Structure 1
């Protein structure tokens, strides 16, 4: 495991941890076995901080996000908000989901086509019995960039552009005055011209409201543009994390290096062989070793760590602001 120093500003943010996963494990039954979708994750989100969670499809990102939302219960470990472990009784969960709001990637799928924009945004305040519904809806739409808000009250989702629909979804979350947004691929379904607008909106909400956010994405370019810190996930576990500039300009883990190589400015394309292993059969040693370009190229053997890569388990990374990677080869340059 590698750790390097971080700035005092970043350290202060992490000391004000708002939402945290502590040794989180989430398993599901699968064909008579147990799929380890989240297999030991420590992750913290500080007050006013944006953390990007990146990785390929099927690596466990969405399951981790749903567990942080209280939509899945961990097999072991805990979700901690403001220093207190999440209580899964219905009344406590209802209060928690007012504070931690989910923004989904598909606005057409998350908006009821029979409901107007007003009804979509008012749904949360009605569930929680908040007074001043019309004012809440108008303010939420305004903050989401739909102005004047009254112009959108009686529109239906099919009458809006993709960017406007995503703003309605964000307004629905803002209507409950949350402290944390969990955004699952928030711009994946949008045209490139609109993505920048939505990312700018999320940054503005952080600046204006002090919102924290976990942004789940497969796009490292998005992480670069919006996040303070990045956590790279592979086969149910964080394999590298740290300040976004540090991780994305000098990635230590071979998996992160491969993800970075697909960006246009990358000097070399790294093509990973095969698919991520079955989460019911996680390999021994480093969980990435079967696809690792460092091991396949012989570089690991040259440094004498190839046997460790295939057989020796790596420690679960702690929740820290410092740059760190779970990699036997990378340890040599620590």
Structure 2
């Protein structure tokens, strides 16, 4: 994507809150997010379980209504009425984590892939379109899979059927939520290679939601690291994963097998999104603050008391961290 070209998908000042339980404050699952996905670009949205990344992905697809902010697709704000959402979902498709749960065990592969065509009244020869989608997803010859049921397929084959069900409508964007989390290591590589090939051959854009920075390294052009409802670091994947600026990103990277240093063990659990701490939302678990490095940089009080601005969208490398800003300014 060039700097002058409008992004295919853009979230602006996006918030999603859910009512609190038993009188608790509302849970701020997505708490001010700016995020873009360019045409033909793969963006990885990374963070631990509970950080809000799946809620953000669902809001971007119109499956969850934002409390505030906007989602725009191809330059136009996403409408909330049924007809607009149906038209949008023909152009933007979701690929879920668990292919076994995504596929109806009573439907054949053919019916599973053809379902989207029937819902949207997609023009063309149904059999030919289903065969083309299965072939694009790597199930060849496609006719051999038409009458099979999900239980007759391997995990990798089931995930390919789910991907074929998304591809059959010729979407411009795929949102893949942990697309290889339930697969064996050898099959994971095949599915990631498939997503890259679809981007190269079809110009497909993708937002890949994952907790695995190793996966982001292998597939993404750009990465956005999410913590407690906000993007805390973003930029080209090489920049972020080679020179991480945010302590949270550094901690996530430290547990990868190829990481040169010792793993960073974060203290405590991810805070409750209905009780987001003041100051930097990561400060209660931050290894830089705990070690005294933030104090030596003169920003420890800021970390505990001063909130950080929402990171702007776009392709540039950005980080929301008092310590990183102080160290960078002194470099």
TM-score w.r.t. structure 1 length? 0.96
Match of residue 106 from structure 2? 114
Deviations 1:230-266 (A, max 9, x none): 0000000000000000000000000000000001121
User: Which structure ranks higher in relative contact order (CA pairs < 8 Å, sequence separation ≥ 6)?
Assistant: 1
Q: CA RMSD in A?
A: 0.9
Match of residue 255 from structure 1? 248
Match of residue 93 from structure 1? 85
Gaps of 5+ in 1: 1-9
Shift in Å at residue 14 of structure 1? 7.3
Q: Does 1:17 align with 2:7?
A: yes
On the 8 A contact 1:100/1:182 being kept in 2, the answer is yes
On the 8 A contact 1:13/1:49 being kept in 2, the answer is no
Q: Does 1:298 align with 2:292?
A: yes
Match of 1:276 among 270, 274, 285: 270
On the 8 A contact 2:90/2:171 being kept in 1, the answer is yes
Q: Does 1:83 align with 2:75?
A: yes
Match of residue 215 from structure 2? 222
Deviations 1:178-217 (A, max 9, x none): 0000000000000001000000000000011000000000
Aligned 1:173-252 pairs, distance under 5 A:
173-252=166-245
Residue 15 of structure 1 aligns to a residue whose secondary structure is coil
Residue 112 of structure 1 aligns to a residue whose secondary structure is coil
Shift in Å at residue 320 of structure 1? 2.0
Gaps of 5+ in 2: none
Match of 1:49 among 35, 41, 44: 41
Shift in Å at residue 13 of structure 1? 5.9
Alignment length, in residue pairs? 324
Residue 66 of structure 1 aligns to a residue whose secondary structure is helix
Q: Does 1:104 align with 2:96?
A: yes
Match of residue 16 from structure 2? 26
- After superposing on structure 2, the runs of 4+ consecutive aligned residues of structure 1 that deviate more than 6 Å are none
What is the distance in 2 between the residues matched to 1:14 and 1:237?
26
Residue 154 of structure 1 aligns to a residue whose secondary structure is coil
Match of 1:153 among 146, 154, 164: 146
Residue 26 of structure 2 aligns to a residue whose secondary structure is strand
Distance 1:137 1:318, change over 3 A: same
Shift in Å at residue 321 of structure 1? 1.0
On the 8 A contact 1:14/1:321 being kept in 2, the answer is no
What is the distance in 2 between the residues matched to 1:218 and 1:302?
31
When structure 1 is superposed on structure 2, of 117-126 and 23-32 the one drifting more is 23-32
Match of residue 64 from structure 2? 72
